[in-house]
Amino acid sequence: MTALLTIESLQAHYGKIAALKGISLQVNQGEIVALLGSNGAGKSTTLKAISGIVRPTSGEIALAGKSLVGCAPHQIVEAGVIHVPEGRRIFAGLTVRENLELGGFTKRREKAAVKEGIEQAFALFPRLQERSQQLGGTLSGGEQQMLAICRALMARPKLLMLDEPSMGLAPIIVQEIMNIIKEINRQGTTILLIEQNAKAALKLAHRGYVMETGRIVMENTADVLRTDDSIVKAYLGA
């Protein structure tokens, strides 16, 4: 297995508060890895550190062996790491198509390539194609989440990081989003997924890490985590 993302002994602070107390994890090429844990465990901070929004106090973050520590967020995007933050943040006043065009815009991208990217995105998300001229802000919560994921894909990420894509969505829509995440992975994108909905996440992830107050307290294959008594009790609502 080839490591795509490697994190070693990562620490991060907000002022004096330690949000990450030395975590190590790895995401291999082609995997879906779930990052689980209760509120405030440090999951979002981990993604923010990877994408350069939060500066680590110490430790290492590397993509395919190249350090990302100290890189600016736009350089990390250019390296192929795309972060879909919690709460989606699409452009409410722009149409679906315009939102996607913005996601595809980079210094080097040709117009034709952006158009092709949008066609591919629409193949994956037919519901968005039907709504290509609709304003982002008028989409349902599930459709907005699809748009946020779709916009991230426009950048052709090597690593796609999703922060709670199921947040606030009805169970049937959660299932739809999870199926799409699985399909994106099947088409070759490596995924790091934060989920409160551990049950749904462990159904599609290959492996998972459990965080508690800034540390990783457990790591295993999704199959093992799904049946682990303490996980079941703490996160799977048994």
Asked whether position 84 contacts ligand ATP by CB under 6 A, the answer is: no
Asked whether position 17 contacts ligand ATP by CB under 6 A, the answer is: yes
- Of 118 and 162, CB closest to ligand ATP: 162
Asked whether position 50 contacts ligand ATP by CB under 6 A, the answer is: no
Asked whether position 16 contacts ligand ATP by CB under 6 A, the answer is: no
- Phi, psi angles (nearest 5°) of residue 62: -135, 140
Asked whether position 39 contacts ligand ATP by CB under 6 A, the answer is: yes
Applying CB under 6 A, which of residues 33, 37, 103, 160 lies at the interface with ligand ATP?
Answer: 37
**How far, CA to CA in Å, does 21 sit from each of 68, 105, 114, 215?**
19, 36, 41, 6
Asked whether position 43 contacts ligand ATP by CB under 6 A, the answer is: yes
Q: What is the 3-state secondary structure (H, E, C) of the chain?
A: CCEEEEEEEEEEEECCEEEEEEEEEEEECCCEEEEEECCCCCHHHHHHHHCCCCCCCEEEEEECCEECCCCCHHHHHHHCEEEECCCCCCCCCCEHHHHHHHHHCCCCCCHHHHHHHHHHHHHHCHHHHHCCCCEHHHCCHHHHHHHHHHHHHCCCCCEEEEECCCCCCCHHHHHHHHHHHHHHHHCCCEEEEECCCHHHHHHHCCEEEEEECCEEEEEEEHHHHHHCHHHHHHHCCC
Q: Binding mask 155-174 vs ligand ATP (x if CB under 6 A, - otherwise)? A: --------------------
Applying CB under 6 A, which of residues 41, 100, 139, 154 lies at the interface with ligand ATP?
Answer: 41
Q: Which of residues 186-215 bind ligand ATP (CB under 6 A)?
A: none
CB count in 10 Å sphere of residue 215: 15
Choices 38-46, 65-73, 145-153, 181-189 (CB under 6 A): range interacting with ligand ATP: 38-46
Choices 42-50, 170-178, 200-208, 230-238 (CB under 6 A): range interacting with ligand ATP: 42-50
- Of 187 and 230, CB closest to ligand ATP: 230
Q: How many residues bind ligand ATP (CB under 6 A)?
A: 11
Asked whether position 87 contacts ligand ATP by CB under 6 A, the answer is: no
- Of 42 and 142, CB closest to ligand ATP: 42
Contact residues toward ligand ATP (CB under 6 A) are 14, 17, 19, 37, 39-45
